[in-house]
Amino acid sequence: MIMPLLSASLRAGFSKFEHAFRVLALVGSVLGAAVVGFAQINYDVPYTFTTIAGRASQGSADGKGSAARFNEPEGVLADGEGTIYVADTYNHVIRKITRDGVVTTFVGKAGVRGHLDGVGLEVELAEPTGMALDAKGNLYVADTATSVIRKVTPAGMVSTFAGRPRERGSRDGTARNATFQDPRGIACAPDGTLYVADSHNYTIRRIDVKGNVTTLAGKAEQSGHQDGTGSAARFSYPESILLDDTGNLWVRDNGILRKVTPKGKVTTPSLELPIVSAMCRDSAGNIYVADEKGEEIIKISPKGGQIPVVQGEMSAVPCTLWLTLDPQE
């Protein structure tokens, strides 16, 4: 039996391949999806799916609910107040969605792919993907096409936090001298340390609170699948990353779930999982993964137990999952 998460909803953003962004909320427990004949397993808590923003058509428009349009968004997260941030990847902007489904553009010029720091709508981004929030509400964005990490303050002030715009490489060093190669995933530790899935370097990078960039695991420009510590490990294509309460990183590596300890030891957990297309975790340490074929969501407990949460057929592949608190529940 799956009991409801404590006043929480697990939500999913869908349909990168349909050029649509359909966000649905599962009230009381686990997931939302763009649904065709979606089947619920026998749980005591019924799952209710509702679309909160967007519809199945590509575009760029602010507005409420189905009036909004997105273009292949690849990153979503929510703050403690329930505001949802969307990396609207091929519109090259960061959007906000309020609890009642009102979508606004937070930073970036829709349709303009570039690199320009500044405030709000004067900013230029280039294919933003992964995002992370720190304790002060600053948003860190993996700006993939320019191979940098951007910092966005709550007021919408954007700066280049790490990396050199359009200079792709694998150099460690101070934040502004280090280089990345198409970073996609990012996670923030409670102390402000950032971890980056540096996708085309096939490495996991760490940015400490002083702004120093080091390579935690993997070897630059050497892909593969090999467990080991530090540079002895190999990644195939690390895309998204999350941090658990013990300081371990969980990496979605080309559809396979990998674990990285704070000292850089990489292992592949012995889990019977499908090809993973998205993942997130709750406050109890459970990890939720979505099947790339769009057929199920699986809950993984901290001890490694697996429970299928929802099974059925979704009309699109989940490209992201996230958790938000719903005080009204």
Find out whether 19 and 71 touch, Cβ atoms under 8 Å: yes
* DSSP label of 234: B
* DSSP label of 191: T
pLDDT at 54: 78
pLDDT at 303: 81
More confident residue, 306 or 258: 258
Q: Which residues of 90-113 are buried (b: 16+ CB within 10 A; e: fewer)?
A: bbbbbbbbebebbbebbbbbbeee
pLDDT at 324: 52
Tokens of 289: 């993964």
* Spatial separation of the C-alpha atoms in residues 292 and 107, rounded to whole Å: 30
Q: Please compute the mean of the pLDDT values over residues 315-329 and round it to a whole number.
A: 51
* Confidence band for 319, pLDDT divided at 50, 70 and 90: low
Find out whether 180 and 198 touch, Cβ atoms under 8 Å: yes
Neighbouring CB atoms inside 10 A of 265's CB total: 17
Q: Model confidence over 168-201: pLDDT tens digits?
A: 999 999 999 999 999 999 999 999 999 999 999 9
Q: Model confidence over 22-38: pLDDT tens digits?
A: 443 333 322 322 233 34
Find out whether 125 and 90 touch, Cβ atoms under 8 Å: no
Find out whether 201 and 220 touch, Cβ atoms under 8 Å: yes
Please report, rounded to a whole number, the percentage of residues in the chain having pLDDT higher than 90.
54
pLDDT above 60 for 316: no
Classified as helix, coil or strand, 214 is strand
pLDDT at 312: 58
* Spatial separation of the C-alpha atoms in residues 236 and 203, rounded to whole Å: 9
pLDDT at 321: 64
Sign of the Cα torsion 257, 326, 108, 163 reads negative
pLDDT at 325: 44
pLDDT at 45: 47
Mean pLDDT score of the chain: 81
* Spatial separation of the C-alpha atoms in residues 147 and 198, rounded to whole Å: 9
pLDDT at 96: 95
Q: Please compute the mean of the pLDDT values over residues 262-267 and round it to a whole number.
A: 97
Find out whether 71 and 20 touch, Cβ atoms under 8 Å: no
Find out whether 144 and 177 touch, Cβ atoms under 8 Å: no
Find out whether 56 and 70 touch, Cβ atoms under 8 Å: no
